Amino acid sequence: MTGDLFESSPQREPAPRPAEILLRVFGYRAFRGHQEAVIQHVVAGGDALVLMPTGGGKSLCYQIPALVRPGVGVVISPLIALMQNQVDALVQLGIRAAFLNSTLSAEEARRVQAAMVEGRLDLVYVAPERLTLPRFTALLERTPLALFAIDEAHCVSQWGHDFRPEYLGLSFLAERFPIVPRIALTATADQATRAEIVDRLCLRNAQTFVGGFDRPNIRYRAVVKDGERAQLLRFLRTEHPRDAGVVYCLTRKRVEQTASWLGRNGFRALPYHAGMPPEERRTHLDRFLREEGIVMVATVAFGMGIDKPDIRFVAHLDAPKGMEAYYQETGRAGRDGLPANAWMAYGLADWLRLRALVDASEAPVEHRRMERRKLDALLGYCETPACRRAVLLGYFGEPHPGSCGNCDNCLRPPTTWDATAAARSALACVSQTGARFGATHLTDVLRGNRNDRVQGLGHERLAAFGAGSDLDARQWHSVFRQLIAAGLLEADASGFGGLRLSSSSGEVLTGSRGVRLRHDFAGPAAADRESGSRRTPRPVTSPLRSDEGEPALWEALRAKRAELARLQGVPAYVIFHDSTLREMLRRRPLTLQDVAAIPGVGSSKLERYGRAFMDVIRGAGAPSPG
């Protein structure tokens, strides 16, 4: 809870301008991207649909209007487990904030409701299930309302990657509160998802603001699975030995096993999935948010709404469920704008498993077709030899010139080879075996392996038998993966991993189309590709670089932040982000006026913490630069 802050705070003075609030409350001197335009539109009473990347400052788009407009801003958030931390962060800024959910006692809930009705709150966070209850609607009708903010708005879309049926009831806000502005916000939504958000939330007259999807501080990497645990361990030990991060796995069992294995290898790793007891999940989430250096190993049950800014890496040990899911999950890294990693290990088996789940679902045909397209786009992203950032942004309709300099393909461009003959042999093998076998059996046939299955089926008598003995099994699996990604092969709907010819296969078989494929790096070269580059980029590790000053002072600033966080019972990043500490390290402020000039230090935090951090810098004997 928030103590008595909103009980004792005086009534708000005449509304200041948004830019004044940005500086005084949040400690920033300039808006980013579309922030100012969105804020002005909502302050004037307009509805808005806002798409901004994670870490792009979406929350300011409703927080500042709620401070400018009279009344209470109601924020609809899907996860009650995170409301406490969101409110704690606002209270640190001097904002009158509270939440209403099932974790409150009856008396605490009564106090929050009374403060709402009396206009003694700036912001209140509620779950969509509570918002649609008749008694809560009655409470809202007695409350002076500044706005409704619908966070994670993609949850309303059945085309999206994280559909929540409870969001469907939010359309009533347009009818019951027609003059209260509504702002729907999300980090990921392709065109179909955006259209459904507009339709289901009755936002047809809303202005749409689409910020750039690019996260230039994130380095994107995808490696073919080749002992993925060892690959993950090498990545973590090389670049993130003490950093907070997330490792995503497809199944609950794999989450448990991976967390235990990382623990045995010296990492502070915790599991998180929907099958765990709720109290254990809450404990693990709280530790991840409040402690430093925790690695959360999780299914997709974890992540939405996480505000932790110093997640330095997101690793996928299994491929995600599509491009939107991949973008959303990797976007949880580097919210503070400092360097971060998005690392993924993938294989053909991942794609076939996910494709089988889609094909076996009871969803409408069009929905399954859409999900298959998303999976196909993800496989194409994994297999591309082009700039990954350009492919990722292109999926969302945002052009990018390529050569981003911060993905594996740009840092170490892959080579390609003329694979026309190999592709023709692979397609012929699929046809000759009846288009019902997976890559492993097809590889055995092509390599001329006389195992029991091949001989039992009589496939040693096929023309394709032994036609590909010049390639090893790993290379053939690469060929099959890339042929699928190129649309030259398809997976059948049986769920057994069988491959069949596509409508484009004939062009290769008849010789009217050539095929070039990417070389996969094997053995020592794979390790080089994962951790090095031809441009020898700086590893994405600590936000403190060796050329930025004294490690001792950096650690002293972090220790002071941790001490203050413990005293207040909040996560360390709620005190100050790493980016703010980094500026303190760079500028060495020795007066409160100097501290106030650092981005992220608003008036409330200056009063609470300015002298404490200034004393740390003075005690270190670090002179102010210049």
For 426-470, the DSSP string reads HHHHHHHTTS---HHHHHHHHHT---HHHHHTTGGGSTTTTTTTT
Task: Give the span between the Cα atoms of 487 and 406, in whole angstroms.
Answer: 28
Angle at 326 between CA 322 and CA 330, to 5 degrees: 175
Is residue 536 assigned to a domain?
A: no
* 301 dihedral zone (left: phi>0; alpha: psi -120 to 50; beta): alpha
Q: What is the structure's pLDDT at 84?
A: 86
- Tokens at 215, concatenated: 């996260």
Same-domain check for residues 428 and 560: no
Same-domain check for residues 172 and 312: no
Q: What is the structure's pLDDT at 545?
A: 44
Q: How many CB atoms neighbour CB 537 within 10 A?
A: 16
Q: How confident is the model at residue 540 (pLDDT cuts 50, 70, 90)?
A: low
Domain edge (last residue) among 187, 210, 233: 210
Is residue 538 assigned to a domain?
A: no
Provide the 3-class DSSP secondary structure of residue 344: strand
219 has which bridge partners? Answer: 341
Residue 21 has pLDDT above 90, yes or no: yes
Q: Which one is predicted more confidently, 343 or 364?
A: 343
Same-domain check for residues 301 and 355: yes
Task: Give the span between the Cα atoms of 287 and 507, in whole angstroms.
Answer: 56
Is residue 525 assigned to a domain?
A: no
With CA atoms as reference, report the closest residue to 308 among 265, 383, 245: 245
CB 411 within 8 A of CB 534: yes
Q: Which one is predicted more confidently, 589 or 306?
A: 589
Same-domain check for residues 103 and 186: yes
Q: Which one is predicted more confidently, 190 or 5?
A: 190
Locate tokens 């999926």: which residue? 395
DSSP 416: E
Provide the 3-class DSSP secondary structure of residue 538: coil
Is residue 541 assigned to a domain?
A: no
Q: How many CB atoms neighbour CB 522 within 10 A?
A: 14
Task: Give the span between the Cα atoms of 589 and 593, in whole angstroms.
Answer: 8
| Residue 120 belongs to domain spanning | 5-210
Task: Give the span between the Cα atoms of 49 and 33, in whole angstroms.
Answer: 15
Q: What is the structure's pLDDT at 1?
A: 45
Considering all CA atoms of the chain, what is the largest pairwise distance in Å, rounded to the nearest integer? 88
Q: What is the structure's pLDDT at 531?
A: 45
Query: Using one digit for the tens of pLDDT, what is the confidence trace for 352-404?
Result: 888 888 888 888 888 888 888 888 999 999 999 999 999 999 998 889 999 99
CB burial of residue 530 (10 Å; 0-12, 13-18, 19+): buried
Q: How many domains does the chain have?
A: 4
- With a pLDDT cut of 70, the percent of the chain lying above it is 90
- With a pLDDT cut of 90, the percent of the chain lying above it is 69
Domain at 440, CATH number = 1.10.10.10
Task: Give the span between the Cα atoms of 8 and 497, in whole angstroms.
Answer: 64
Q: Which one is predicted more confidently, 56 or 196?
A: 196
Same-domain check for residues 258 and 238: yes
Domain at 564, CATH number = 1.10.150.80
Report the length, in residues, of the chain. 626
Domain at 97, CATH number = 3.40.50.300
Please state the rounded mean pLDDT for residues 464-493.
91
Domain edge (last residue) among 395, 411, 427: 411
Please state the rounded mean pLDDT for residues 402-422.
95
- Tokens at 359, concatenated: 């094909």
Task: Give the span between the Cα atoms of 471 and 147, in whole angstroms.
Answer: 63
- What is 207-241 written as a DSSP string? EEEE-----TTEEEEEEE-SSHHHHHHHHHHHH-T
Please state the rounded mean pLDDT for residues 475-483.
94
Query: Using one digit for the tens of pLDDT, what is the confidence trace for 581-607?
Result: 999 999 999 999 999 999 999 999 999
Q: How far is CA 463 from CA 277, 459, 472, 504, 506, in A?
A: 56, 9, 19, 22, 18
316 has which bridge partners? Answer: 248, 344
* 293 dihedral zone (left: phi>0; alpha: psi -120 to 50; beta): left
Q: How far is CA 450 from CA 422, 463, 464, 467, 604, in A?
A: 20, 14, 13, 13, 75
Q: What is the structure's pLDDT at 534?
A: 40
- What distance, in Å, lies between the first and last C-alpha atoms of the chain? 44
Same-domain check for residues 202 and 237: no
Same-domain check for residues 32 and 117: yes
CB 539 within 8 A of CB 532: no
What value does the mean pLDDT of the chain take?
Answer: 88
Same-domain check for residues 589 and 470: no
Residue 566 has pLDDT above 70, yes or no: yes
Is residue 446 assigned to a domain?
A: yes
Task: Give the span between the Cα atoms of 348 and 225, in whole angstroms.
Answer: 9
Q: What is the structure's pLDDT at 211?
A: 86
Task: Give the span between the Cα atoms of 601 and 580, in whole angstroms.
Answer: 8
Please tell me the number of Cα atoms within 13 Å of 51 on its side-chain side: 25
Name 275's Cβ contacts closer than 8 Å, sequence gap at least 6. Answer: 252
Query: Using one digit for the tens of pLDDT, what is the confidence trace for 203-249?
Result: 989 999 998 889 999 999 999 999 999 999 999 999 999 999 999 99
Query: Using one digit for the tens of pLDDT, what is the confidence trace for 239-254?
Result: 999 999 999 999 999 9
Please state the rounded mean pLDDT for residues 518-536.
49
Is residue 530 assigned to a domain?
A: no
Is residue 531 assigned to a domain?
A: no
Same-domain check for residues 311 and 383: yes
Query: Using one digit for the tens of pLDDT, what is the confidence trace for 162-185?
Result: 778 888 889 999 999 999 999 999
Same-domain check for residues 427 and 393: no
Residue 535 has pLDDT above 70, yes or no: no
Residue 624 has pLDDT above 60, yes or no: no
Domain edge (last residue) among 160, 180, 210: 210
Same-domain check for residues 200 and 265: no
CB 248 within 8 A of CB 316: yes
Task: Give the span between the Cα atoms of 156 and 49, in whole angstroms.
Answer: 13
With CA atoms as reference, report the closest residue to 66 among 92, 34, 98, 88: 98
Q: What is the structure's pLDDT at 400?
A: 94
Same-domain check for residues 251 and 397: yes
Residue 29 has pLDDT above 80, yes or no: yes
Residue 60 has pLDDT above 80, yes or no: yes
Is residue 66 assigned to a domain?
A: yes
pTM value is 0.84
